[in-house]
Structure 1
Amino acid sequence: MSSPTPPPPQSPPQTPASPPAPGQASWQAPGQMPPVPPPPAGPQGAPGPAPVVYTSPIPERRTHLGHALLSEWTKIRTVRSTVWTLAVMFLVTVGIGLLLAMALSSEDWVGMPLLSGGFFGLMFGQVCIITLGVLVMTSEYGTGMMRTTLTACPQRGRVLLAKAVVFFLLAFTMTLAATALTSLIHSSMLGGQTVPSYGVHDDRLADSIVNGELVATADQWLGATVGAALYVSLLGLLGLAVGALLRHSAGAITAMIGLVVLPLLAALFMVGESLYTAREVLIEYSPLNGLASLYGIPMDGDVDSTGWPLLGLLAAVTLAALISAYARVTATDA
């Protein structure tokens, strides 16, 4: 006889899963999202309170031009090129002025207005201000920092205005300090010189001779300090505008140096009579003649030229360049 077939194994009875105890994680199959518990119900089945939203303790404030000015001041004062450029400008302006004063102090009469020697040092020192003005704009385009600047301050016109204001005030302050110190050196070392009889009839010195001695008038002090500082600072601001237009350091610096030097150099080679009018116009409106006129030694020979009208012309040209730079900055990407 065959043995009886054993019954199939019985599975243990299934008990319903009980909810996990508080503090214990529930188990779910791999890849299965954990169940989302419903919000706690309020009284009489009403929905529970809304979830708590995080609020930053830092207060929110609207940005304005002051923030942009502070940002640009932080950038321009923490860059080494700013310190070195301004230091070189100061040393060149004051150093050449001091050397010239020492050389002229051994003469009986300088033959020109008392403070005019400061022009020769500032003629070279202005190159540093122009270069710095260009680099304020082009350095950020060259390194890509302009994208970060415009991300932090999307108002592009505000960025350009902040750069222009901060640079102009810094350039004017440093140039004014250099020209004022140079004028003090010339006044102390060359002042009180006796003017010979043939120098009394010099039209350039009509207002600079008191009791037969060479002195500096208030107008000459104003032109040799504030006027010269404004003129050089406007040239640097024009360089900033040209840098915003070209967005290339070497090209913008070359263009500005050419603007300052080329008119006078071109006039020196115009020797024909047919070119006389063009030569006179180039000399009269050259940037170097405007700066020299503020020191009382105009290159065009006009003894009545004070340099202030040319300063106004330079301000108008700089304003037009800044308007063009604003259109360029706001119309194109960084």
Structure 2
Amino acid sequence: MTTPYQQQASYAPSSYVSPIPVRKAHLGDALASEWTKIRSVRSTLWTLGVMILLMLGIGLGIAAIVSANEVDLEDQSALGFGFFGVLLSTICVMTLGVLTIASEYGTGMIRTTLTACPSRGRVLAAKAIVFFLLVFTLTTVLATLVAAIQTSMIDSVEATGAEWLRATVGVGLFVALVGLLSLAVGGMIRHSAGAITIMIGVMLLPLVAAMFMFSPSLADVQDFLLQYAIPSQLIGIYGEAASGNGDGPTGWQPVWIMLGLTVAAMAGAFAVLRSRDV
């Protein structure tokens, strides 16, 4: 004879099975999340919008001025004039790189992010991949457009295929790596204004300091700063050494140097993210 408890247990409903498929989260989910965040915040629209205006406006303005004044460019191509717009637009990229991660610490959103994705390395990797691909694609397209317009407006030596590749893909890689370096600094500093200030100092301070090194004993230091400052390396991608003695990284060398710095900074950001609480 069954007891009332056994009768109740026999009529107990089976365990609930959710109609929504449950699977283990992976990097693709983190990428989708970071892409949604970076394209939906106003800071992305503002910084990239200003970047586009600077690259196109300065690039077209310089091309118009050089063309109107009929500057003789018999010994060089017109691709180098893209440097000026790219240099200023790099400041926008650095700002966006910092805000991509540091703004979440300022608003407390990082707690929600790490609750949804406890793997901190996956979060940092997703932010880095989404940011890099966005900036690289946009910068390469804009650099190609500006270069095509400048070469059509300015009478100069025809650029080689290698020069075109560096002035478009090389510039896109360099600017995107500078942005990733800023993202890593933002992840370590965890303060937007402080990280942006540091990156602007890293970009401009070496050149400013070198201008005031008049002592002959500081000549080597001055030459080093002139060669390896971020603006000087950007000039080197276009094939011109910024140092007065003609030395310094040129061609693809600045890209590899920035790649090494960025990898080291990302490793530091990962270590900080793993060791510190939010």
TM (norm. structure 1) is 0.78
Q: Which residue of 2 aligns with 1:94?
A: 56
Of 136, 146, 150, which aligns to 2:100? 136
3-state SS, counterpart of residue 38 of structure 1: helix
The one-letter code matched in structure 2 to 1:275 is L
**For residues 280 and 308 of structure 1, what CA distance do their matches in structure 2 show?**
20
Tell me the distance in 1 between the aligned counterparts of 2:110 and 2:258.
Answer: 28
**2:234 equivalent in structure 1:** 291
Q: 1:162 aligns with which of 115, 126, 139?
A: 126
- Look up the match of 1:324: 268
1:311 aligns with 2:273: no
Aligned with residue 109 of structure 1, among 72, 77, 95: 72
**2: CA distance, partners of 1:251 / 1:159:** 22
Match of 1:72 in 2: 34
In structure 1, the partner of 2:207 is: 264
Does residue 7 of structure 2 align to residue 40 of structure 1?
A: yes
* Stretch deviating more after TM superposition (134-143 or 107-116): 107-116
Q: Is structure 2 residue 17 aligned with structure 1 residue 55?
A: yes
Bigger Cα displacement from structure 2, 292-301 vs 58-67: 292-301
- Structure 2 counterpart SS, 1:40: helix
* Structure 2, unpaired ranges of 5+: none
CA gap of 1:82–1:52, structure 2 versus 1, over 3 A, is: same
Q: Which has the higher helix share?
A: 2
Q: Which amino acid aligns with 1:82?
A: T
- The 3-state SS of whatever aligns with 1:57 is coil
RMSD: 1.8
Note the alpha carbon deviations across 1:255-313, whole angstroms, 9 max, x for none: 00100111111111112211111110111111111101112332114278524222211
Aligned equivalents of 1:53, 1:175: Cα separation in 2: 54
Distance in 2, Cα, partners of 1:216 & 1:114: 8
* 8 Å contact from structure 2 (residues 185, 265) kept in 1: yes
- Aligned partners of 2:22, 2:248: CA distance in 1, in Å? 58
Q: 1:82 maps to what in 2?
A: 44
2-side partners of 1:273 and 1:113: how far apart? 35
| Structure 2 residue identity aligned to 1:109 | D
Tell me the distance in 2 between the aligned counterparts of 1:39 and 1:280. Answer: 89
Rounded to whole Å, the distance in 1 between the matches of 2:110 and 2:16 is: 33
Larger Rg: 1
Flag as ranges the 4+ runs of structure 1 deviating above 6 A: none
Cα deviation, residue 235, structure 1: 0.5
- For residue 9 of structure 1, what is the aligned residue in structure 2? none
Distance 1:57 1:279, change over 3 A: same
Higher deviation after alignment, 60-69 or 111-120: 111-120
Alignment-mate amino acid for residue 290 of structure 1: Q
The answer for the alignment partner of 1:197 in structure 2 is none
Q: How many residues get paired? A: 273
| 1:41-96 deviations in Å (ceiling 9; x for gaps) | 8xxxxx73554322211111111000000110011011111112111101101110
Contact 1:293 1:307 in 2 (8 A): yes
**1:114 shift after superposition:** 1.6
Aligned match of 1:226: 169
Task: For structure 1, list consecutive stretches of 5 or more residues without a partner in the other structure.
Answer: 1-36, 42-46, 194-213
| Greater relative contact order (Cα < 8 A, sep 6+) | 2
Identity percentage over the alignment? 50
Partner of residue 241, structure 1: 184
